[in-house]
Every structure is written in structure tokens, then in C-alpha cells.
């Protein structure tokens, strides 16, 4: 039987405005995560 993904919380990226889901690596600081990727973080919120 395959593992089913749980319903994960999502946010909208401040740079590209696309939705992205929670990841285990963001477990400790999910409240402060604003960007979906390093590329968007480098680009910044102003885009």
C-alpha cells in the first residue's frame, strides 16, 4: 500500500506569488518562511 500525503499547510511565495506547501526542512521556522525557493529568495519580494 502506497503512502498517502497528508494535507499540508500552504503559503503564497512573496516573489513569484505561487502557492507552496510545507516541507520538513522548514519545520522549525515555517512561520518565517516567505519564499518557495532559493531562487525566489535571491530575487526578493520586489521581484
With contact defined as beta carbons under 8 Å apart, do 10 and 21 qualify?
yes
Question: Does the residue 1 lie in any domain?
Answer: no
Question: Does the residue 23 lie in any domain?
Answer: yes
Rounded to two decimals, the pTM is 0.78
With contact defined as beta carbons under 8 Å apart, do 29 and 11 qualify?
no
Q: How many helices (DSSP H) and strands (DSSP E) are in the chain?
A: 1, 2
Question: Does the residue 31 lie in any domain?
Answer: yes
Structural domain boundaries, residue 30: 10-44
DSSP bridge pairs for 47:
none
**Cβ atoms within 10 Å of 26's Cβ, excluding its own:** 14
The cell 519545520 sits on which residue? 27
Give the pLDDT of residue 41.
95
Q: How far apart are CA 14 and CA 1, in angstroms?
A: 37
Give the total number of structural domains in the chain. 1
Give the pLDDT of residue 8.
92
Question: Does the residue 32 lie in any domain?
Answer: yes
Question: Does the residue 4 lie in any domain?
Answer: no
Question: Does the residue 36 lie in any domain?
Answer: yes
Question: Does the residue 2 lie in any domain?
Answer: no
Kindly give the confidence (pLDDT) of every residue in the chain, 47 residues in length, as a single tens digit, with 9 standing for 90 and above.
Answer: 666 767 899 999 999 999 999 999 999 999 999 999 999 999 987 76
Amino acid at each position: 500500500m502506497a503512502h498517502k500525503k497528508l494535507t499540508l499547510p500552504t503559503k503564497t511565495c512573496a516573489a513569484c506569488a505561487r502557492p507552496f506547501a510545507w516541507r520538513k526542512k522548514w519545520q522549525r521556522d515555517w512561520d518565517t518562511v516567505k519564499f518557495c525557493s532559493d531562487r525566489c529568495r535571491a530575487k526578493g519580494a520586489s521581484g
